[in-house]
Amino acid sequence: SKTIYLKDYQAPDYLIDETHLTFELFEDHTLVHAQLVMRRNPALSADLPVLTLDGQQLELLELKLDDRALSATDYTLTDSHLTLQPTQASFVVDSSVRIHPESNTALEGLYKSSGMFCTQCEAEGFRKITYYLDRPDVMSSFTTTVSGDKQKYPILLSNGNPVASGQEDDGRHWATWEDPFKKPAYLFALVAGDLWCVEDKFTTVSSREVTLRIYVEPENIDKVQHAMDSLKKSMKWDEEVYGREYDLDIFMIVAVNDFNMGAMENKGLNIFNSSAVLARAETATDAAHQRVEAIVAHEYFHNWSGNRVTCRDWFQLSLKEGFTVFRDAAFSADMNSATVKRIQDVAYLRTHQFAEDAGPMAHPVRPDAYMEISNFYTLTIYEKGSEVLRMIHTLLGEEAFRKGSDLYFERHDGQAVTCDDFVKAMEDASGIDLTQFKRWYTQSGTPRLAVAERYDAAAKTYTLTFIQSCPATPGQRESDKLPFVIPVELGLLDAQGDDLPLRLQGEAAAAAGSRVLSVTEAQQSFTFVDIAEKPLPSLLRGFSAPVKLSFPYDRDQLMFLMQHDSDGFNRWEAGQQLSVQVLQELIGQHQRGETLELDQRLVSALRTLLQDGSLDQAMVAEMLSLPGEAYLTEISDVADVDAIHGAREFARQQLAEALFEPLWQRYQANREVSRTTPYVAEAEHFARRALQNIALSYLMLTGKPEVLAATLEQYEACDNMTERLTALAVLVNSPFEAERSKALAAFAEHFKDNALVMDQWFSVQAASTLPGGLARVQALMEHPAFTLKNPNKVRALIGAFAGQNLVNFHAADGSGYRFLADQVIVLNALNPQIASRLLAPLTRWRKYGSERQALMKAELERILASGELSADVYEVVSKSLA
Ligand code: BES
Ligand code: ZN
């Protein structure tokens, strides 16, 4: 495999003005005819270099240049390219190829899923459909004709507007679609199948009427209303918040069962993993409802941030993904509880993206090299990329940020651009220089930010000193890294817990509340004046920068912040830091073989929360959740899996017993409302169920018969998957073996025909930390509903085991590692993208003690030696062993 470098970027030699495609779909092959209307790139010299088209796994049947049939001596064919010599500046290439969607298990290019044809072209899948310049800076208009059997494939879809259709005598029919907007090939889509749709309308701000359609398999037609509602909300939100209007007459979403990712933003024809569209009370949890809303919004928002303005090359991926994640997060915050959304995003970032930043695949938000682009759809590109945008928003303020985005969309509409172009638009619109800020795009690793305080009672000044640094990452030494611009939003609390006015030396009087400091140097101090008593700082409010902050809080100070901080995010954060301190103490006791003793201050802090009926219940639920084992692993130098698990479970058990009364009271009150109110997918109801369910999972740890009875009542009598799945998970992790087996069997019997619900059934069992986890997972792989060919199944069972069941996956005998490596080796041949993603837990071997390290490395080496590896798996394995 070879490495591609950003520094080698060259503009395309040739452009494709028009692309005319015809697909003839058959059961044992598909014929693709492409007519490419091309010309020499006018920005380059007038000579005519050879034309090199991308193409993989294509059987070339015919090739013409300007209507002249070419013979094998007129072109060169390799397994990845077709090269020919144009003779004039403008010309037309016609090709016919045969492909095999029916045996495509990689789910990239054109493939079949549950009897329907569909495509996934991002990033480099179009080259598996036809010979093309498969790069995002080649933008073309597309006309697509699809023909197929009318009975099997009554619905024939592609991008843009439908312009013609017809019947043939042989039972076949055809449809032609025209997309007037120029786009790169990665946004191409085709769907053919027996689908039903729900149709709706949206009237845009300029009074254009848009037809909205969501296509699904007939049996799922009752599960699309939530996605349709989400789509309409997204369209409205993008008009109001970003001034972005939809541009075609029709917008379609199609749900497919076999899909590597969550969803894809193809122009006018988004293709979704069915798990990211289908949602109704009985079959999808609250979390699934919120995920559908967020993904529908994300893909819709790409119509501007990605499609109208696209990426010049794949090094710029965060230009569209980071920005669009930032946009969908703001949308979700507006639709639900903003603070809870921020808490969830930050917890996810710190657990997973920070781990990526500390591992062998660490890379900057704009990488400068890759082997396989599919491996770079990472948490760094997406989540850290979104944080970078959020910091720009914080530094510029709402209004200037909006001016910047307006300028960006206006200036670059119809273009393929870079992250620099985006930042330039923000600079030009705001007048703020972001030169130093751009280091966030090029330097990898998570910055550390240590903060020290000094109070001078006589002078009434309070000084905060910030020291920033960033650890070494692959290809970047610590000493090479230059200071970042770190926006630190903060407040200073007085003894009553109120925010003080924040006035820096030399400034005029200020109002009380938060403000943002820009930390731009390796070491930098800020002195506040008129501070009558020593304050308590609330730092990095809202998590204003993706850094590892340290400040020497003691536990009483954290309890004070938990109750008084005016910033909801930092109230949660104080609780997390308190829990981390308490858990780390327990981990130490566990490692030294001492009796575990829980700091009672954590009990009393959580008791206060539970007893305060005025708090947002979703916040209480978040604050009751202890930091996860994966996060505790991430913040350890050497992660002791058993001590982490033992300590955390001990704390949960102690909390459950000490807080039984208030937990039981909140549980019963909320369950009573749930029992008497029909399911509603709205924030207030999510909040009630979240608290009810976390309370139940604590309560069951006491093993009391009344809790078992309540769990069974909830399991049987509830009207929604959120309550049912929690009851099932609680039973699965409980010692009540008979009830557990009975509930698992009843659930599987009732939902055996619903693949997405069965995925949840697999996940709940794969995540059970009771002993014998691997054997249970291996048995489940034999279940008739399981198949390695479906990515959702692989994620639900194997992914959940390796990612969420840390004690079992990290079994000291290495059996979990061996199992995962075995699955990766099989999947490497079937679906390289899924194999490569599944492998991530093994790449974190540096986090563990020497025995586990050796076992994990041995499995990586075994994968490396297992035979012909895909570029996807090879890159990850070789880099993590380097
Ligand atoms: N463009 C991506 C889909 C994609 C990812 C295609 C990787 C090819 C390779 C899409 O916009 C996306 O980002 N989807 C996310 C969901 C989103 C809410 C972050 C996904 O599929 O997970
Ligand atoms: Zn995206």
b/e per residue 199-219 (b: at least 16 CB within 10 A): ebebeeeeeeebebbbbbbee
Nearest to 252 by CA among 233, 274, 231: 231
Q: Closest ligand 1 atom to the C-alpha of 328?
A: 18
Q: Mind giving me the DSSP string for 352-417?
A: IIHHHHTSTT---SS-SEES-GGGG--HIIIIIHHHHHHHHHHHH-HHHHHHHHHHHHHHHTT-EE
Count the Cβ atoms, other than its own, within 10 Å of residue 882. Answer: 7
Determine contact, residues 111/101, Cβ cutoff 8 Å. Answer: yes
Among 301, 377, 831, residue to substitute to test ligand 1 (most atoms within 8 Å of Cβ)? 377
Question: Distance between CA 63 and CA 440 in Å, rounded?
Answer: 47
Determine contact, residues 1/871, Cβ cutoff 8 Å. Answer: yes
**3-class SS at 313?**
coil
Question: Distance between CA 242 and CA 251 in Å, rounded?
Answer: 19
Angstrom distances, CA of residue 163 to CA of 110, 158, 177, 192, 249: 22, 11, 6, 17, 12
Among 261, 326, 344, residue to substitute to test ligand 1 (most atoms within 8 Å of Cβ)? 261
Question: Distance between CA 532 and CA 565 in Å, rounded?
Answer: 19
CA of 324 to the centre of ligand 2 (A): 6
Query: Which ligand has its closest atom nearest to the C-alpha of 187?
Result: 1
Taking CA atoms only, the protein residue closest to ligand 1 atom 18 is 295
Determine contact, residues 575/339, Cβ cutoff 8 Å. Answer: no
CA of 107 to the centre of ligand 1 (A): 14
Angstrom distances, CA of residue 724 to CA of 415, 687, 743: 49, 16, 10
- Looking at residue 621, its pLDDT comes to 98
Count the Cβ atoms, other than its own, within 10 Å of residue 257. Answer: 20
Q: Closest ligand 1 atom to the C-alpha of 298?
A: 18
State phi, psi for 192 to the nearest 5 degrees. -140, 125
Express each pLDDT in 731-776 by its tens digit: 999 999 999 999 999 999 999 999 999 999 999 999 999 999 999 9
Count the Cβ atoms, other than its own, within 10 Å of residue 182. Answer: 20
Instruction: Report ipTM for this prediction.
Output: 0.99
CA of 606 to the centre of ligand 2 (A): 38
CA of 666 to the centre of ligand 2 (A): 39
Among 111, 264, 271, 353, residue to substitute to test ligand 1 (most atoms within 8 Å of Cβ)? 264
Query: Which ligand has its closest atom nearest to the C-alpha of 377?
Result: 1
Taking CA atoms only, the protein residue closest to ligand 1 atom 16 is 262
CA of 321 to the centre of ligand 1 (A): 8
Question: Distance between CA 248 and CA 726 in Å, rounded?
Answer: 42
Query: Which ligand has its closest atom nearest to the C-alpha of 123?
Result: 1
Among 120, 270, 272, 299, residue to substitute to test ligand 1 (most atoms within 8 Å of Cβ)? 299
Nearest to 35 by CA among 13, 65, 12, 14: 65
Handedness of CA 533, 534, 536, 537 (dihedral sign): positive
- Looking at residue 1, its pLDDT comes to 76
Question: Distance between CA 284 and CA 719 in Å, rounded?
Answer: 11
User: For the chain, which ranges sit under pLDDT 70?
Assistant: none
CA of 689 to the centre of ligand 2 (A): 30
Ligand 1 surroundings by CB, under 6 angstroms? 122-123, 261-265, 294-295, 298-299, 302, 321, 325, 328, 377, 382
Angle at 698 between CA 696 and CA 702, to 5 degrees: 105
Q: Mind giving me the DSSP string for 723-777?
A: HHHHHHHHHHTSS-HHHHHHHHHHHHHHHTT-HHHHHHHHHHHHT--SS-HHHHH
Handedness of CA 616, 620, 623, 626 (dihedral sign): negative
Angstrom distances, CA of residue 189 to CA of 16, 157, 194, 865: 18, 8, 17, 37
Question: Distance between CA 851 and CA 840 in Å, rounded?
Answer: 19
Q: Which value, to the nearest 10 degrees, does the dihedral of the CA atoms of residues 722, 726, 728, 730 take?
A: 180
Q: Closest ligand 1 atom to the C-alpha of 377?
A: 7
Determine contact, residues 54/124, Cβ cutoff 8 Å. Answer: yes
Catalytic residue positions, numbered: 299
Q: Which amino acid, residue 546?
A: P
Q: Mind giving me the DSSP string for 117-132?
A: EEEE-TTTTGGGTSSB
Taking CA atoms only, the protein residue closest to ligand 1 atom 15 is 262
Question: Distance between CA 175 and CA 732 in Å, rounded?
Answer: 50
Taking CA atoms only, the protein residue closest to ligand 1 atom 19 is 325
Query: Which ligand has its closest atom nearest to the C-alpha of 264?
Result: 1
Express each pLDDT in 59-102 by its tens digit: 999 999 999 999 999 999 999 999 999 999 999 999 999 999 99
